[in-house]
Amino acid sequence: MIQTEPGDAFDPEIVGLFASIGIKKGKPFAPDARMKAILTDAIAVGNATARAMVFAPRDERAKFYPDRQWNNGFIGNSYQFLNDGERMLDPRTMFHYMATGITPAMAAAKPGTGSAYAFAVRDAAGTFLDGGKTYKITLPAPIPAGQFWSFTAYDNQTRSMLETDQKLAGIDSNNPDIKKNEDGSVTVWFAPKAPAGHESNWVQTVPGKGWSSILRLYAPLEPWFDKSWKPGDFELVN
């Protein structure tokens, strides 16, 4: 990117960081053995640090609710991760390690427009989600999504969508086969095999793989913003 794009295509601070390790426009990147060793260690430490920020955040603002395991990827609701002149470096790292691009609308949805996001990496007991186990999660009625809602399952190792035989990596309310409970709530099951009788509300997981999930509400409604509505946690079934 540095070689291909104009010299002023990126923030000078970032360009300076690249330059400090030998990535400069118009010059070959040719680290010697010493620098290769340093960069190899730096990659491992940086990856571990970012992973810890996602899967075990210490920032209290990461929690959506005190009694739930759902986290907020948009700490401060700023797509630039700014807070009173401060660039929130850890929240920025947390978001971009788990996700990729970001837009102003993603970080600052308003009732009835845009989309809202929450992510979970642990079950109701605080244990990391295990692809070999069966979980269920219930969204109470009415679900505050003016358009639709969805769950997507992600591979913890790659942070990409979980690859399974189901070839969906998730479920959303546009599916006409989704079954509702008697009170209008919806229970979704996550497991390696579909639980009997719940095939239409099932998301496949993979034994031996940790996974996480993002809940998305499209055109979120006021109960999401005032927190009078809360999604359930992932409950371990077996």
User: Strands 202-204, 186-191: parallel, antiparallel or unpaired by DSSP?
Assistant: parallel
Alpha carbon distance 205, 209 (integer Å): 8
Alpha carbon distance 186, 45 (integer Å): 41
Query: 31 phi and psi, to 5 degrees?
Result: -65, 145
**What pTM, to 2 d.p., does this model score?**
0.90
| Confidence at residue 100, expressed as pLDDT on a 0 to 100 scale | 82
Tell me, what amino acid is at 156?
Answer: N
CB 142 within 8 A of CB 216: no
Alpha carbon distance 114, 161 (integer Å): 22
Alpha carbon distance 135, 124 (integer Å): 10
H helix runs in the chain, sequence order: 12-20, 33-55, 89-98, 104-107, 222-225
| Confidence at residue 107, expressed as pLDDT on a 0 to 100 scale | 84
Here the tokens at position 5 are 């794009």
Alpha carbon distance 70, 191 (integer Å): 19
| Confidence at residue 103, expressed as pLDDT on a 0 to 100 scale | 87
Query: Who contacts 65 (Cβ-Cβ below 8 Å, separation ≥6)?
Result: 227, 230
Is residue 101 exposed (0-12), middle (13-18) or buried (19+ Cβ within 10 Å)?
Answer: exposed
pLDDT truncated to tens, each residue of the chain (238 aa)? Answer: 999 999 899 999 999 999 999 999 999 999 999 999 999 999 999 999 999 999 999 999 999 999 999 999 999 888 999 999 999 999 999 999 999 888 888 888 899 998 999 999 999 999 999 999 999 999 999 999 999 999 999 999 999 999 999 989 999 999 999 999 999 999 999 999 999 999 999 999 999 999 999 999 999 999 999 999 999 999 999 9
From residue 107, alpha-carbon distances to 31, 159, 168, 227 in Å are 38, 20, 26, 17
